[in-house]
């Protein structure tokens, strides 16, 4: 690793969005922690998985996530724990473990990925919506604690991506309807999210911390009935 390179840790790097983020960061000259770039990466829900993080971290991104679609009355405790652990607990573990390395560089950035399900939940996604709402609270709380170390925290409340999460069953009718209700008629491109994260990491929003960013092309606010 070249000493002049900035260091990024991306949890969830092997997914659709994670791959786009890593590509953009690599093109920007970041050194990416290789541990999380492999398909057999460590379990993001275990504290021991974060024991060997780089000694200096300029950017930490948590986007690991799963979604279990089930009626609340049929959702099992194990399913609930699985969603909460991956979507929320892992972000806490990363924040705790990465803090010394981010504090060491001054001006570091910590980013989490939430979802429009927190404000516009679909049926049968209660665990997912709850976990993402918790993630937003975590990000805001860190902003209060970490501001004095010049660590900026941001949470991206993401709308519908052009590529689905691995754990979300394909639903062509749903995506077709989402497009029809989005003013631009387009879903979000992973590369656009990646470029936004690069901009944040480069200090694009230095005066902002604890923000929940609606990364959504007006789908959730479009109430035009015709």
Question: Per the domain annotation, does 2 fall within a domain?
Answer: no
> Would you say residue 221 lies in a domain?
no
Give the CATH number of the domain where residue 195 resides. Answer: 3.40.50.720
Residue 226 lies in a domain: no
Domain range holding 157? 7-215
Q: pLDDT digits over 20-61, tens only?
A: 999 999 999 999 999 999 999 999 999 999 999 999 999 999
CA distance 24 to 94: 21
Q: Give the separation between CA 122 and CA 186, rounded to whole angstroms.
A: 20
pLDDT of 2 reads 47
Cα gap 33→9, rounded to integer Å: 5
pLDDT recorded at residue 55: 97
- Is residue 144 domain-resident? yes
Asked if residue 222 belongs to a domain, the reply is no
pLDDT score, position 161:
93
149 assigned to active site:
no
Task: Note whether residue 220 is domain-resident.
Answer: no
Number of domains observed in the structure of the chain: 1
Q: What is the pLDDT of residue 213?
A: 95
Say if 225 falls within a structural domain: no
SS3 of 157-194 = EECCECCCCCCCCCCHHHHHHHHHHCCCCCCECHHHHH
Find the catalytic residue in 50, 128, 196, 219. 128
Below-50 pLDDT ranges, the chain: 1-2
DSSP single-letter state for residue 53: -
Q: pTM to 2 decimals? A: 0.93
Which pLDDT score is estimated for 1? 44
Cα end-to-end span (Å), the chain = 56
């Amino acid at each position: 690793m070249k000493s002049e390179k900035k260091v990024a840790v991306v949890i969830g790097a092997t997914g659709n969005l994670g791959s786009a983020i890593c590509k953009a960061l690599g093109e920007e000259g970041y050194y990416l922690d290789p541990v999380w770039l492999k398909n057999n990466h460590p379990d993001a829900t275990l504290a021991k998985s974060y024991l060997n993080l780089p000694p200096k971290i300029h950017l930490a991104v948590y986007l690991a996530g799963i979604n279990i679609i089930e009626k609340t009355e049929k959702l099992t405790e194990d399913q609930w724990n699985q969603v909460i652990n991956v979507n929320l607990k892992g972000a806490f573990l990363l924040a705790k473990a990465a803090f010394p390395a981010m504090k060491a560089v001054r001006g570091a950035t910590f980013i989490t990925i939430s979802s429009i399900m927190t404000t516009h939940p679909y049926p049968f996604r209660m665990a997912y919506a709850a976990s993402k709402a918790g993630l937003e609270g975590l990000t805001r709380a860190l902003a209060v604690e970490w501001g004095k170390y010049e660590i900026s925290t941001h949470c991206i409340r993401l709308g519908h991506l052009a590529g689905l999460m691995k754990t979300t069953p394909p639903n062509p009718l749903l995506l077709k309807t989402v497009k029809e209700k989005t003013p631009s008629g387009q879903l979000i491109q992973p590369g656009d999210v990646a470029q936004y994260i690069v901009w944040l990491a480069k200090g694009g929003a230095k005066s902002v911390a604890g923000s929940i960013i609606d990364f959504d092309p007006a789908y959730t606010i479009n109430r035009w009935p015709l």
